[in-house]
């Protein structure tokens, strides 16, 4: 196997998986430290806190999303995610544009299946990739090993804790949330809330640290909440150390049963082993 190719692909895949419909930057647990600036009405704050609790209690949902990370990568993701007892989920991810996508296409990779389990996530690659990994189709990323990607334990925590209600928590850190009004989302009526988050003003220490490590300075957040206090849609826009990041996600079928089976060990290549072999072989 040409190890540098395998490692390069594995790194690009890890980036894509971190930016599926659940992604961005915050944990699912509420800290109880949400700000109550004068620019945000008490009614909006109460509504958003209800949405955060209701979405967390729902424990699972179907997710459909698009993510654009500057000129580097664009992806579309479709699947189901569970967060009631650790992170679980199965997604189909398509690479739709960007320099990283071009590199993957050159290796015969245009889409993949991703499976999220509480301790690791798995990416099913193409036959072309399997030829470089002794016929194995899956890459395994153990969360505790992801510091090799440069994100450290915070990246692993982000992968474990991302849920749809993360956008609500992020919006609650804005000092000026606006109730934009009632709108239709996928045929359902929802209330649209919008706000801008300035990282320097974030009170939640863990959230602030994660945003700073991503080199985010400001981020705009828009969410649409239905009459059951559940998110139907979110749009996040911000600038990270890797460029402009825009993500749009739609949520439906809350409470759906999520299946995420571990791939066969004989058909799985551990990302840690890819790194180890790369360090002992000449590129």
Beta strand 138-142 with 268-270: parallel, antiparallel or unpaired?
parallel
* Residue 35 confidence class, pLDDT cut points 50, 70, 90: very low
For residue 182, what pLDDT is reported? 97
- CA 269, 271, 272, 275 dihedral sign is positive
Which of 21-25, 41-45, 92-96, 245-249 shows the lowest mean pLDDT across its residues? 21-25
Is 156's pLDDT higher than 70? no
Measured CA to CA, the distance from residue 65 to residue 108 in angstroms comes to: 23
Is residue 19 helix, strand or coil? coil
In sequence order, the β-bridge partners of residue 115 are 90, 122
Is the pLDDT score of 183 beyond 50?
Answer: yes
- Confidence at residue 28, expressed as pLDDT on a 0 to 100 scale: 33
Is the pLDDT at 209 greater than 80? The verdict is no
The highest-confidence range among 140-149, 230-239, 272-281, by mean pLDDT, is 230-239
The Cβ-side half-sphere exposure at 192, using a 13 Å CA radius, reads: 10
Q: Are the CB atoms for 109 and 95 separated by under 8 Å?
A: yes
Q: Are 234 and 24 in contact (CB under 8 A)?
A: no
* Residue 272, pLDDT score: 83
Give the three-class secondary structure for 134: coil
Question: 193: pLDDT confidence band, cut at 50, 70 and 90?
Answer: very high
pLDDT at 158 over 60: no
Position 7 confidence tier, pLDDT thresholds 50, 70, 90: low
């Amino acid at each position: 196997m040409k190890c540098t190719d395998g490692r390069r692909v594995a790194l690009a895949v890890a980036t894509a998986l971190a930016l599926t419909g659940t992604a961005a930057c915050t944990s699912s647990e509420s800290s109880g430290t949400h700000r109550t600036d004068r620019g945000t009405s008490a009614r909006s704050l109460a509504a958003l806190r209800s949405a955060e609790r209701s979405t967390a209690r729902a424990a699972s949902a179907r997710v459909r999303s698009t993510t654009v990370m500057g000129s580097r990568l664009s992806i579309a993701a479709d699947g189901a995610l569970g967060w009631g007892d650790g992170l679980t989920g199965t997604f189909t991810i398509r690479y739709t544009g960007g320099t990283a996508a071009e590199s993957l296409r050159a290796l015969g990779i245009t889409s993949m299946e991703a499976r999220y389990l509480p301790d690791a996530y798995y990416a099913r690659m193409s036959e072309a990739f399997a030829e470089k990994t002794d016929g194995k189709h899956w890459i395994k990323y153990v969360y505790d090993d992801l510091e090799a990607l440069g994100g450290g334990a915070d990246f692993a925590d982000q992968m474990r804790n991302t849920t749809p209600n993360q956008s609500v928590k992020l919006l609650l850190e804005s000092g000026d949330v606006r109730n934009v009004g009632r709108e239709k989302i996928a045929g359902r009526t929802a209330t649209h809330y919008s706000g801008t988050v300035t990282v320097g003003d974030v009170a939640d220490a863990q959230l602030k640290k994660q945003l700073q490590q991503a080199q985010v300075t400001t981020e705009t957040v828009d969410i649409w909440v239905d009459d059951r206090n559940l998110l139907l849609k979110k749009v996040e826009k911000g600038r990270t150390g890797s460029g402009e990041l825009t993500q749009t996600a739609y949520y439906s079928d809350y409470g759906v049963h999520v299946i995420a089976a571990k791939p066969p060990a004989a058909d799985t290549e551990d990302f840690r082993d890819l790194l180890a072999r790369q360090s002992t072989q000449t590129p």
